[in-house]
Structure 1
Amino acid sequence: MRKNKTLLKIENLVVRYGAVEALKGINMEVNEGEIVAILGANGAGKTSTLRTISGLVESSGGSIVLGDQDITKTEAEKISAMGIGQSPEGRQVFRDFTVEENLKIGAFTIKDKAQIESNFNRVYGYFPVLKERKNQSASTLSGGEQQMLAIARALMGSPKILLLDEPSLGLAPLIVQDIMDIVKEIKQEGTTVIIVEQNAAQTLKIADYAYVLELGQVKMHGEASKLKNDPHLIEAYLGAH
């Protein structure tokens, strides 16, 4: 049973790219302090959902409400300042900048120097390897370290909601486990997380609630602890065990 207050509400959200309808009127709720997973195969609409929440893609219909504010047509920079931070698919770190410079870019909406310092301490606590490599160019990091940097950069903006797009993509199983453990820690410290993943089994272990998308529609949703034992879900929609 979901008990916490609703932090983000999506109603009848439609997204079109030309003639293609990527999202066909989806509904979702994200409650404070939850990890909410969005699962599904390639082309299901997972990334479109995150990019629309963060203002990078404009919706064609429906609404997105953060707290009591409608952010449906709000610019991405303003949404970031309102407390939504995104770690994009494919990491997209600034390869020619150092680790520390990448992190400073993540804090661009924060004006309080003490807050920025606190955020540095926080992300270096999650990812000690980034502190060790803070003066190195991001291009010298391994794939796993670049993923850590992308998550840390998103956290530098003090988000209420952290959006993670395929954080396990292309990473070795041990690194994936580390990332998932850190996501749990981020939640325990009070940040709400929305995670898009193809790695359904791992994600359902850490999530509180999950939505399964298929061809731009919510096919099923429910508490992650129940969904992870649903053989129909695993076989029909996720193709993974």
Structure 2
Amino acid sequence: MLKLDNLTVSYGSIKALKGINIQVREGEIVALLGANGAGKTTTLKSLSGIVPIEKGSIDFFGKDIANLAPEKITSLGIVQSPEGRQIFPDITVEENLRIGAFTIKSRKQIAKNFERVYKYFPILLERKKQLAGTLSGGEQQMLAIARALMVSPKVLLLDEPSLGLAPLIVKAIFEIVKEINSEGTTVLIIEQNALQTLKIADYGYVLEVGEVSMEGKASELIQDKRLLEAYLGG
């Protein structure tokens, strides 16, 4: 479905990604793990067309989408929920969601997408007329994910959805991500919270300074001593 082949990205003289190879199979949750500065966010930004690719290819259903404009990538069905939520604080929850559906022309589909996201996140239905900036951190994260889902994505890219949230909220969000996936949306999730992520993922990759250092089935990675020591505190 989605294949990154020899993907190389540089910021000036600094190589952020050094020829990584990653595959996301349709219907799976794939985890991309690693410490700060490992290249996780750069990978997602490359997929979204936000940062230019120096070398390599991104194959999506047989088409190379490397360096396509972000809006074209979104219209193909690759949609990102960015790190730090990046919602629009001065407009309502409902207006944020409607902006998310900007590529959808069918009113019927937009209504269906509203129904879907309110099913996943009923608190957003309660808060739909509230200014987004007045939501709690967890609610803002839910809104960021819901806004991405309004585009009817084939692949949902999640950038650090647990960042800065209380453990109970993190648990709830991961359960919803699992539900979203079970209903047909492929997910690529990048996280520092390796344990929680591997519990819901099918496959995982570990990035270290721009290179894939480990990969495998999530059920196997979660048992790996090296991973436990490096990312789960032993």
Deviations 1:185-220 (A, max 9, x none): 000000000000000000000000000000000001
Residue of structure 2 in register with 1:240 after alignment = 233
Residue of structure 2 in register with 1:140 after alignment = 134
Unaligned runs of 5+ residues in structure 1 are 1-6
Deviation at 1:109, TM superposition (A): 0.6
- Say which SS state the counterpart of residue 123 (structure 2) adopts: helix
Q: How many residues align?
A: 234
Q: Is the 8 A contact 1:168 1:197 kept in 2?
A: yes
Residue of structure 1 in register with 2:201 after alignment = 207
Deviation at 1:240, TM superposition (A): 3.5
Q: Is the 8 A contact 1:200 1:240 kept in 2?
A: no
Structure 2 counterpart of 1:240, which letter? G
* TM-score between the two structures when normalised by the length of structure 1: 0.96
Residue of structure 2 in register with 1:29 after alignment = 23
Q: Is the 8 A contact 1:201 1:240 kept in 2?
A: no
Deviation at 1:157, TM superposition (A): 0.2
Q: How does 1:90-239 map to 2 (within 5 A)?
A: 90-236=84-230, 238-239=231-232
Unaligned runs of 5+ residues in structure 2 are none
Change in CA separation of 1:153 and 1:240 when aligned onto 2, cut-off 3 Å? farther
Q: Find the aligned partners of 2:78 and 2:98 in 1 and give their Cα distance.
A: 17
Structure 2 counterpart of 1:171, which letter? L
Q: Is the 8 A contact 2:195 2:232 kept in 1?
A: no
* TM-score between the two structures when normalised by the length of structure 2: 0.99
Q: Is the 8 A contact 2:160 2:191 kept in 1?
A: yes
Residue of structure 1 in register with 2:34 after alignment = 40
Deviation at 1:239, TM superposition (A): 4.6
Q: Is the 8 A contact 2:29 2:181 kept in 1?
A: yes
Q: Is the 8 A contact 1:22 1:45 kept in 2?
A: yes
Deviations 1:35-86 (A, max 9, x none): 0000000000000000100111111100001111110021000000000110
